[in-house]
Amino acid sequence: MDLRAARQTPPIVREAVLPADTHNLVAVIREYVRWLDMDLSYRGFDAEMDAFERVYTLPSGMFFVADAGGELAGCVGLLRHTAETAEVKRLYVREAFRGMSLGEALVTSVIRKAKTLGFSTLVLDSVPQTGFAQRIYERSGFVDIAPYYENPVEGTRFLGLAL
């Protein structure tokens, strides 16, 4: 889709509805991983995708999508770690929809939802390829934190936000 066509149907950010959104959402997440050009097996990516609906259904997790008239423009997930802490997962805006502040809208939505679910802390990891997303996180109040798992990818930043 070209940018002109993308802008004809301004995306709205909404909670993903599973199983209706599963196929398209998993496809967008796999597009994101191809864009990263890295192997995420160290984080159990294939198992996560195989169990997507179980993993990303509350209370364990959920996703927001930017919906442009039925086409998914982007996404961001939330995954419960503990009763107090959740992880922000897979923030991605597809190329045709960039420049529309969707990353900010998705992050704002996931922060708001985390608060309503009673989490006190959000954490995330961000690999070097995601520099633009890191700036969105920083503008949203995230700060560098100690790693919360062993990561083999040099230059990965770990960020946290007290809610």
What percent of the chain stands above pLDDT 90?
87
Q: Which pLDDT value is given to residue 151?
A: 85
CATH number of 103's domain: 3.40.630.30
Query: What average pLDDT does this structure show over 124-137?
Result: 96
**Of 30, 72, 67, 68, which is closest to residue 49 (Cα–Cα)?**
30
Distances (CA, A) of 111 to 85, 104, 119: 12, 11, 9
Q: Which pLDDT value is given to residue 41?
A: 87
**pLDDT tens-digit map of 27-37:** 999 999 999 99
Q: Is the pLDDT of residue 140 over 90?
A: yes
Domain holding 152, by residue range, is 3-162
Structure tokens at 60: 């364990």
- At 2 the three-state DSSP class reads coil
State the chain's mean pLDDT as an integer: 94
Supply the pTM of this predicted model: 0.93
Question: Higher confidence at residue 43 or residue 160?
Answer: 160
Total number of domains in the chain: 1
Do the Cβ atoms of 54 and 44 come closer than 8 Å?
no
Do the Cβ atoms of 76 and 63 come closer than 8 Å?
yes
Q: Which pLDDT value is given to residue 1?
A: 47
Question: Higher confidence at residue 15 or residue 43?
Answer: 15
